[in-house]
Structure 1
Amino acid sequence: MYTLPGFAFVVLLLTAASAAANGLALKKDVELAGSAAAGKAGPLFVTADRIESTAPNVIEASGRVEARQAGQNFFANWLRYDTTLSLVEARGQVRLEQAALLVTGDALKLNLNDYSGGLTQPVYRFPSQQGRGGADYIEFIDENHFKLQDATYTTCPTDNDDWFLKVSDLDIDRTRNVGTARHASLQFLGVPILYTPWADFPLNDARKTGVLAPTLGTTERSGLDILVPYYLNLAPNYDATLYPRLLSKRGVQLGGEFRYLLNDMHGENRLEYLPNDNEANRSRWSVALNNTYRLSANTQAGMLFNQVSDDDYFRDLSNLISITSLSHLNREAWVTTQHAAWNAELRAQSFQTLQDSTAIPIAEPYARLPQARLGMLQTFGRGLEFRLDSEATRFAHSDPAKTEGTRVLAYPTLRLPLSNSFGFLTPQVGWHSSYYALDDDTLTKQRITRNVPIFSLDSGVAFDRPFRFAGQDYEQTLEPRAYYVYAPYRDQDNIPV
């Protein structure tokens, strides 16, 4: 047996018997001291049933081999290490553990200076992500870069490989957090669904410009339907997606979505356009805008606008039941302000009603053009609360036969919450006042006022007692509650809304 002067690592000569007797074992921790710098292999600690020096600066270990170096662990049935070349060779149930990679295989060869080498029949996993798979061979380019041949890749849970990517060459670059696949097919339950000669994808949650997963289908209304989204990672706080879509019976539809998130505003806006629909003989489009703006610490403004070119747009061009069943598209703009003792809101709202020519006509909701709200909450001594809820709304309708008008509501209340350790009592008195101004000359009364005093009493008590059951301590509670409301009768036959 040779002596090894100038050894670049430390070898722990422990036989299986002595290790078992003393309870000694290596801690399987791949984050002992970070990763070793490329070109500067750190000390290697080895334990095995048998360790011997077979040549100058060469050792061989066999039987339950465990080797540890800063940033990674090795496990195998047999291991050979050449200190001159910093070359590790391992065979038999090989397992390599790193902070960002766990891989097993049959035979390993790895240079610890530049982390180049390879492993046959690897099965790999990324602990910090959900990606995993297998291959015929893995080639290590450097510490954060490797390539796999005839590989699979999936993010499905373990033992659930319903969806996976099968590729002839898979390049994993953890420095750029990008995976590149060549001659790849997306498979479901072993059946190829989609093929691409080239594709790349992020290895983490970071966004990346590129083609998203296409969708392929067919419908009776539109024929073959192919959608190929293209994502644009414009900046960390805004992005866009293009939606080119081929409908064999109708033509090519173009769509786009833009999202943004700024300090004082955020929004999502989407447009779709189908020029000269071959089935409908007209151009068709849809608009969906949703934006919110913060004007100050207490005040926000926003707008929501949805519109389509015709009543049948979603029925003809969407495959989702939740979309095709839409009957009203909301359009509104608002300004709200919140303060300690009061709040206010100004809103305008209308709808586009989508009729179905084969069904019963759908009633169009009234538009609120506009609606103003004012609320107040003030607390006085002994917990007495004054609250005011009020609003004024102008109701409008596109149907001239519908009665339009203005409604003003005011509901001030006084409330006194009383409570102690075993119950509570809350009396409240209020005055609900309504005023209607109707734009209908056929009505006997165009101005209607309604005033209703309202009294309520909310009360409750709490009973609890400890008891034991089946040797366990429990607490039983009983909390009866009584709530009484009184509002005198008022004739409301002439009030429309």
Structure 2
Amino acid sequence: MTPSPTTPRTLPPRRLLAVAAALALSGGVAEARTAPAQPSTTPGPAASAAAPTCPLGVFHCPPRPESYAMCRPNALLEFYDPTLPRDPALRESADTDVQSTHVDSSNQAYYRLSGNVRIERADQLLRADRIDYNDSTTDYDAQGNVRYQEAGELLSADRLRGNNQANHGVAENVRYQLLQSRGNGTAARGELLDAQHSRYSQVTYSTCDVGHHLWEVRAKDLKIDKADGVGVARGATMRFANVPFLYLPYFTFPVDNRRKSGFLYPTFGSSNRSGTMFAIPYYLNLAPNYDATLEPRIYTQRGTLLAGEFRYLVPGTRGQLNVEYLPNDRGEDTPGGDATHGQDRWLLKYGDVTRLGGPWVFSTSINRASDRSYLRDFGNDLYTSAIGTLASNAYVRGGGDWWSASFGADSYQNVDPYLPDTVVQYKRWPRATLGLDLPINRWLEFGADTEAVAFRKDDVIEGKRLDLYPYLAADFRGAAWFVRPRLAYRYTAYELDGDYQRYGYRGPLGGTQVSPFDDRTPSRALPIASLDTGLIFDRRTALFGTSYTQTLEPRLYYLYVPYRNQNDLPLFDTRLMSFDYWQLFSPNRFSGADRQMDANNLTAALTTRLLDDSGVERLSASIGQIHYFSPQRVQLPSSNVATAAPTDWVHSDYVAQLGIQLNDRWRLDSAYQWNPNTRLTDLGTLGLQRRIGADGIFNFSYRFRRNYLKQYDASAIFPISERWRLLGRWVYSVRDRRTVEALAGVEYDSCCVAVRVVGRHYVIARGPVTDRGNTNNALMFELVFKGLGAFNGQTEDVLRRGILGYQ
């Protein structure tokens, strides 16, 4: 035991031991207590609680924290005393409590305590069969079943010798356990340097069960600094299943959850575009509020790439910078893509959020690549989906109770080697918005949505647009009804660039004739009126022996927008939105402001719900349809990617949707659209999710959109046992007659080790169905040492994104 040399004694040593001797002669346990210890309820290193189950239907489940639930009880914790305080600073003023069965004090300077000896002071507790103490030199010698506890550590040994005044102790044949983590091991020799530092020779370290180390570090010398949360090993060998696989002459690792500088575990990967990849990152803990990571990577088919990441957090600002650079690419060019052989290639990603004062915030996200094929060649082969466009933006934003505003710019880069740059949307450079939502009284409000933007793009028409959209809305409601009238006015004006007459627009209703723009400042103005009404009925009902509240909610929505010929307006950012249930109640079927649909429509819809006694929605079913009193005449040109279908019929599709989750084991979601005019199904989706045991899941979905999409998607996590799980996903496109993605893997989880092996085949870019070069294969291996880190610790990301409900 190594108390501080300045520790005051409220009783002289001889008197303390004399009291113990007197009690020993009477046959009782010797006990001299100079001050009571303050109890603490802080527990020792117990097994981690199991992660909460991710609710069904959640798209991205959070990662599971490291769990030690499968660990055996720790043998060292048998002598752990949770009532001791956890603050070593209390030693300076704490008294000492000594208990023993026998005391021998024949020599006035030398005392021998024997028989269940217990010495306690503040966070320190020393127990042994026998303790010899020299009052003149403050030397002590504990022998036989030695057990020592302090704020950060438990230790057992055959013998513990030390000097109180020198604040030093030496133990032989040691077993130790860190209390701030599951770190434990054995050593031939251990030194207790002070309350926060210890050193061991011929030592092992692991977070596995004591005596059952599936992985461990064996080192000639190990120093543990609990103050900084760092272990420093020299002459270290990493072992897995008692097989050495990595030797490091100098090795540092965390002994708690704090971050530290040092090498992270290497990453291995393989793809058919860049060959085998090997990377070994180095983490730099530069300061409490910023850090960096350097990651050199070697691609066997392309060369050496250097990646770096820098993160910072200062008052009012947080951000992250990522840079990747590969000189003189040795790989092959992508067919149809940019020439890359022999070129320097790079990727830049930067994000920042800064508070400017008051309600104003500046945010930016810059993403640029050297060429269109970069992400295809160097995107992480397992956990990055194909991206066709990189978006960059910078904005100043602000808002209050009744207003919001922004000013900034958006830019886009094509990173799809199979598509020309002409498919990339316009740059919005600059763009300003102003939104108002001002309540006049409790049922009436005035608002406005305003946008001013300049559109930039090479070799097409460019210009500026101002869109003003003020409205007046009322909300009358009761317990079982609502009436929401709304009156708006939309004014959109353009100023086209000087060469606008070089370009033209398509004729009405998708005609093929192109007419030149003959007005540099076209505009459009029209009113928009709507009335949204509904009733809500409810009753008590029962289903499968469970009582529910059932609602019946009829709803009518009338929309009127007069027709304005808009064929002379350019198309900068407008597309036809997908028709779904919420489009039944939308004032426009186009995104952007370049087109405003005309309407004289009445939507009728009906919804029913089942709510359990706690108010949770267990079933929701809705159906609706639009009745057109006049055809919608505003269309998009036929050459546009998303052409507006004509609506010269009386009724829209029937739109139905269904969601059921009567318990926590399964969930079903479905949507269906049937066209009464063509008598064809336009859309159908079905999603089924079933929980298997505590940590298994099965998902199946079917997606159909006429003339566009027909896909099956199945994924599963199947637990074979408490430790083993099978993982898989398969996505098949019927229209393309090929697999879009196939993923298979196995996962092993134990007390202190998790292993994942995942293989993936996937489409990485658009291209002809017969072109098999736009697919990729990847095989990744991940080995997680709980409490220490992971080899390839990123496969979990793609599993969470690809398998609904994965944790």
TM-score (norm 1): 0.79
The worse-fitting range, judged by mean Cα deviation, of 435-444 and 89-98 is 435-444
Indicate yes or no: 2:192 matched with 1:140: yes
The answer as to 2:424 corresponding to 1:364 is yes
Q: Does residue 197 of the first structure (1) align with residue 249 of the second (2)? A: yes
Cα distance between partner residues in 1 of 2:153 and 2:525: 73
Change (3 A) 1:435 1:188: farther
1:5 to 3, 8, 14: 14
Q: 1:426 to 1:173 in 2, by over 3 A?
A: same
Q: Deviations over 1:122-143 (max 9, x none)?
A: 3333323453333333222333
**Other-structure match for 2:445:** 385
User: Which segments of 5 or more consecutive residues in structure 1 lack a partner in the other structure?
Assistant: 20-24
Residue 30 of structure 1 is matched in structure 2 by 84
- Percent of aligned positions with the same letter in both sequences? 28
User: What letter corresponds to residue 30 of structure 1 in structure 2?
Assistant: L
CA shift at 1:374, angstroms? Answer: 1.3
Alignment partner of 1:308 is 2:395: no
Say if 2:471 is the partner of 1:413.
Answer: yes
Q: Deviations over 1:422-441 (max 9, x none)?
A: 45635231326263758542
Which AA in structure 2 matches 1:453? I
Q: Residue 310 of structure 1 aligns to a residue in which SS?
A: coil
Alpha carbons of 1:108 and 1:361: their partners in 2 closer, same or farther (altered >3 Å)? same
CA displacement at 1:236 relative to structure 2: 3.1
Structure with greater contact order relative to length (CA < 8 Å, sep ≥ 6): 2
Query: CA 1:384 to 1:96, structure 2 compared with 1: closer, same or farther past 3 Å?
Result: same
Task: Say which of 213, 230, 236 aligns to 1:178.
Answer: 230
Which aligned pairs between 1:43-442 and structure 2 lie closer than 5 A? Answer: 43-47=96-100, 50-53=101-104, 55-56=106-107, 57-63=110-116, 65-76=117-128, 78-84=129-135, 85-155=137-207, 163-217=215-269, 221-223=273-275, 225-279=277-331, 280-323=341-384, 325-357=386-418, 363-398=423-458, 400=459, 408-418=466-476, 422-423=479-480, 425-431=482-488, 433=490, 435=492, 437=494, 440-442=503-505
The answer to whether the Cα contact below 8 Å between 1:334 and 1:346 also exists between their aligned partners in 2 is yes
Deviation for aligned residue 1:331: 1.2
Counterpart residue type for residue 559 of structure 2: A
- Paired with 2:555 and 2:182, the residues of 1 have a C-alpha distance of 54
Letter in 2 for 1:315: R
87-96 or 262-271, larger mean C-alpha shift: 87-96
CA 1:382–1:433 in 2, change beyond 3 Å: closer, same or farther?
Answer: same
CA gap 1:384/1:190 in 2 versus in 1, 3 angstroms: farther
Q: Displacement, 1:482?
A: 4.3
Does the 8 A contact of 2:190 with 2:201 survive in 1? yes
Q: 1:216 to 1:183 in 2, by over 3 A?
A: farther
Shift of residue 324 of structure 1?
6.0
Please tell me whether the aligned partners of residues 453 and 464 of structure 2 are also in contact (alpha carbons under 8 angstroms): yes
1:382 is paired with a residue whose SS is coil
In 1, Cα distance between the equivalents of 2:402 and 2:96? 68
Among candidates 413, 437, 451, match of residue 526 of structure 2 = 451
1:297–1:15 distance in 2 versus 1, CA, 3 Å = farther
Q: Is the 8 A contact 2:20 2:103 kept in 1?
A: no
Aligned-pair CA distance for 1:377 = 1.1
CA contact (8 A) 2:88 2:195 kept: no
Q: CA deviation at 1:355?
A: 2.2
Offset of residue 480 of structure 1: 4.6
CA contact (8 A) 1:166 1:185 kept: yes
Shift in Å, 1:312: 2.5
Secondary structure of the 2:425 match is: coil
Deviation, 1:378, is: 0.9
8 A contact 1:249–1:278 mirrored in 2: yes
1:286-338 CA deviation, whole Å, 9 max, x = no partner? 11121233222122223221111122323333434343622221111212121
The answer to whether the Cα contact below 8 Å between 1:114 and 1:142 also exists between their aligned partners in 2 is no
Using a 3 Å threshold, how does the CA distance of structure 1 residues 375 and 73 change in structure 2: closer, same or farther?
same
Cα distance in 1, alignment partners of residues 485 and 25 from structure 2:
84
Secondary structure, counterpart of 1:122 in structure 2: strand
1: distance between equivalents of 2:285 and 2:476? 57
Q: What CA distance in whole angstroms lies between the structure 2 residues aligned with 1:339 and 1:36?
A: 50
Specify the code of the residue in structure 1 equivalent to 2:125: N
Tell me the number of residue pairs that the alignment of Structure 1 and Structure 2 aligns: 475
- Give the 3 Å change call, closer, same or farther, for CA 332–162 of structure 1 in structure 2: farther
Q: Quote how far apart the aligned CAs of 1:171 are.
A: 0.8
Q: What SS class does the counterpart of residue 142 from structure 1 fall into?
A: coil
Q: Retained in 1: the 8 A contact 2:389–2:416?
A: no
Indicate if the aligned counterparts of 1:374 and 1:391 stay in contact, CA closer than 8 A.
Answer: yes
Whether contact under 8 Å (1:11, 1:44) holds in the other structure is no
CA deviation map 1:192-212 (0-9, x unaligned): 443211023454555444433
Tell me which amino acid in the other structure corresponds to 1:369.
W
Answer whether contact 1:153 1:166 (CA < 8 A) is retained. Answer: yes
Partner Cα separation in structure 2 for residue 466 and residue 109 of structure 1: 76
Alignment partner of 1:94: what SS?
Answer: strand
Aligned-pair distance for 1:72?
0.9
Deviations 1:162-185 (A, max 9, x none): 554332211113355432111223
Cα–Cα, structure 1 residues 393 and 32, in superposed 2: closer, same or farther, change >3 Å?
closer
Q: SS of the residue aligned with 2:357?
A: coil
- Cα 1:106–1:452 change in 2 (3 A) is farther
What are the superposed Cα offsets for residues 373-416 of structure 1, whole Å, 9 maximum, x if unpaired? 21001112334222222323444444x3x665655544433333
Aligned pair in 2 of structure 1 residues 89, 42: CA closer, same or farther (>3 Å)?
A: farther
| Cα separation, partners in 2 of 1:487 and 1:122, compared to 1, 3 Å | farther
* Bigger strand fraction: 1
* Contact in 2 for aligned 1:413/1:428 (Cα 8 Å): no
Give the whole-Å Cα distance in 1 for the aligned partners of 2:178 and 2:537: 54
Cα distance between partner residues in 1 of 2:161 and 2:505: 95
Are the equivalent residues in 2 in contact too, given 1:166–1:184 (CA < 8 A)? yes
Distance 1:254 1:187 in 2: 29
Work out whether residues 454 and 465 of structure 2, in 8 Å CA contact, stay in contact via their aligned partners in 1: yes
> 5+ residue gaps in structure 2?
1-12, 30-35, 40-80, 332-340, 509-516, 561-598, 600-631, 643-807
Q: Which residue of 2 aligns with 1:22?
A: none
Distance 2:531 2:175 in 1: 70
CA distance in 2, matches of 1:55, 1:475: 82
- Check 1:181–1:8 CA distance in 2 against 1; reply closer, same or farther (3 A cut): farther
Q: Report the residue type matching 1:143 in the other structure.
A: A
- CA distance in 2 between counterparts of 1:397 and 1:115 reads 74
Structure 1 CA distance for aligned equivalents of residues 396 and 534 of structure 2: 38
- After superposing the two structures, state which structure 1 stretch, 252-261 or 268-277, moved more: 252-261
Q: Separation in 2 of the partners of 1:10 and 1:365?
A: 89
Would the aligned equivalents of 1:330 and 1:349 in 2 still touch at CA under 8 Å? Answer: yes
**1:370: Cα distance to partner?**
3.3
| Cα gap change, 1:282 to 1:123, in 2 (>3 Å) | same
Corresponding residue SS for 1:136: strand
Q: Which residue identity is paired with 1:281? A: G
Q: Distance in 2 between matches of 1:393 and 1:442?
A: 21
**For 2:26 and 2:465, how far apart are their aligned partners in 1?**
90
Worse-superposed segment, 279-288 or 207-216? 207-216
Following TM superposition, by how much is the alpha carbon of 1:44 offset from its aligned partner in structure 2, in angstroms?
Answer: 3.7
Distance in 2 (alpha carbons) for counterparts of 1:442 and 1:390? 26
